[in-house]
Amino acid sequence: MTDNEHEIEQADERVPKRVIGTPAPGTSMLGAAEAPEAAEEDVPGVTLQDEAKARKAERIVALCFTITFLASIAFIVSYVYFQVGSPEATGTSNLALGSSLTIAILGLAVGIVIWVRQIMPKYSLVQERHPMASAEEDREVVGETFLRGANESGFVKRKLLRRTLLLAAAPLGLVPLVLLRDLDNSKMPGAKFNSMLRHTVWGEKTKEGKPLRLVVEGTGQPIRAADFNSPGGILSVVPEGYQHDLNALAKATLILIKFRPEEIKSGVRQNWTHDGIVAYSKICTHVGCPAALYEQNTHHILCPCHQSTFDAADGAKVIFGPAARPLPQLPITVDAEGYLIAQGDFEVPVGPSYWERGDAEAEVREKGGQA
Ligand code: FES
């Protein structure tokens, strides 16, 4: 044997033995060989477990892991032994597999929890809080920078610039107030704007002073009540003369449904219908999508946006979804030629609810109208 070979043998003897399940000796992390010494030291904030209790816990953890081992073996045996083929055999197999796997996972989980809580040291962690305020020098620097910037901008020195800038900014502050008027707030000055959301063109008349006819959306064809006679039928309808007025259509589009008389329930205002034909606003009362999916058998109107569902046979009451109130019903009748016409405007605002709606609806309820 040479000298070199002798040196190599000595080096091998100094290497600690590798323990299964631990990091290799000599790694940069806390090595297995270093850990026990570190744990024994009196480190601030670290409380070692009582050794007697830790030993008892160790035995319990070992028992849990043994149970896991046995249950895992039972799982494999069950898989092989209990064959499926009939409902009874499948049930027995499922029971055996499920129970053994449950016990195996439970044993492992309980063992790990006891290990961590009763054997490993406890740490008290404290995070230091630092003062939030900036240092005095930093605040002085910021103040000086601000003043220097103000002087350089000429805001103080150039009065003309300063005054015209303030003049320009003042009306901008009022812009949000002006926009609020569009929200139909009856308590704000300028109540003439209130009609913008509360009313639709159905309350208007033709040039000849006649009520507006209902016409089919797309074709503009007026609807004769006698022709719309098959129960379960539905039409999308707009006011005559406004077929191309998108602002008007945004609030005035309707769905027209034909019922058998016995199908109509108490929620429908009967004197607003004609021969089983009922008209509802098509604008969903949630956030305003067109609610035009109709299920003939159940009489449900469905809004595709968030699935609000309305019972068309019962005043379009909400039966599902986020909408908070029924689709408003439009009073309709027929003119001398038998065409469907509006008796007047909706009694309640159409479309999404908004913040001052309470006033409008209370007013209608007092009058005994639909709310
Ligand atoms: S807009 Fe109709 S459910 Fe939301």
Phi, psi of 108 (to 5 degrees): -65, -45
Alpha carbons 245 and 359: distance in angstroms, whole number: 29
Residue nearest atom 4 of ligand 1, based on CA coordinates: 306
Alpha carbons 353 and 347: distance in angstroms, whole number: 14
Distance 199 CA to ligand 1 centre (A): 21
Nearest to 370, CA basis, from 312, 343, 330:
330
Nearest to 202, CA basis, from 361, 358, 333:
333
Closest ligand 1 atom number to CA of residue 307: 3
Sorted by where each begins, the domain ranges of the chain are 23-123, 140-179, 195-366
Distance 328 CA to ligand 1 centre (A): 15
Ligand 1 cavity residues, CB under 6 Å: 284, 286-289, 291, 303, 305-306, 308, 321-323
Distance 271 CA to ligand 1 centre (A): 28
> Residue 97 half-sphere exposure, CB side, CA atoms within 13 Å?
13
Q: What is the pLDDT of residue 371?
A: 37
Distance 250 CA to ligand 1 centre (A): 15
Q: What is the pLDDT of residue 24?
A: 64
Distance 230 CA to ligand 1 centre (A): 28
Q: What is the pLDDT of residue 124?
A: 85
Q: What is the pLDDT of residue 23?
A: 62
Alpha carbons 208 and 167: distance in angstroms, whole number: 50
Beta bridge partners of 215: 222, 238
Query: Can you read off the two tokens belonging to residue 245?
Result: 């007025």
Return the CATH superfamily for domain 195-366: Rieske [2Fe-2S] iron-sulphur domain (2.102.10.10)
Closest ligand 1 atom number to CA of residue 322: 3
Q: Are 361 and 348 in contact (CB under 8 A)?
A: yes
Pocket test for ligand 1, best of 286, 300, 318, 354 (most atoms within 8 A of CB): 286
Alpha carbons 254 and 283: distance in angstroms, whole number: 8
Pocket test for ligand 1, best of 281, 300, 305 (most atoms within 8 A of CB): 305
Distance 323 CA to ligand 1 centre (A): 6
263 CB contacts (<8 Å, ≥6 apart)? Answer: 231, 276, 299, 313
What is the DSSP code (8-state) at residue 242? Answer: -
Amino acid at 154: G
Nearest to 342, CA basis, from 234, 254, 246:
254
Tens digit of pLDDT at every position of the chain (371 positions):
444 444 444 545 555 566 666 666 655 444 444 455 555 567 777 888 888 999 999 999 999 999 999 999 999 999 999 887 777 888 899 999 999 999 999 999 999 999 999 999 888 888 888 888 888 999 999 999 999 998 888 888 888 988 999 898 888 888 877 777 666 555 554 454 455 667 899 999 888 889 999 999 989 999 999 998 888 889 999 999 999 998 889 899 999 999 998 999 999 999 999 999 999 999 999 999 999 899 988 999 999 999 999 999 999 999 999 998 999 999 999 999 999 999 999 998 898 876 445 445 545 554 544 43
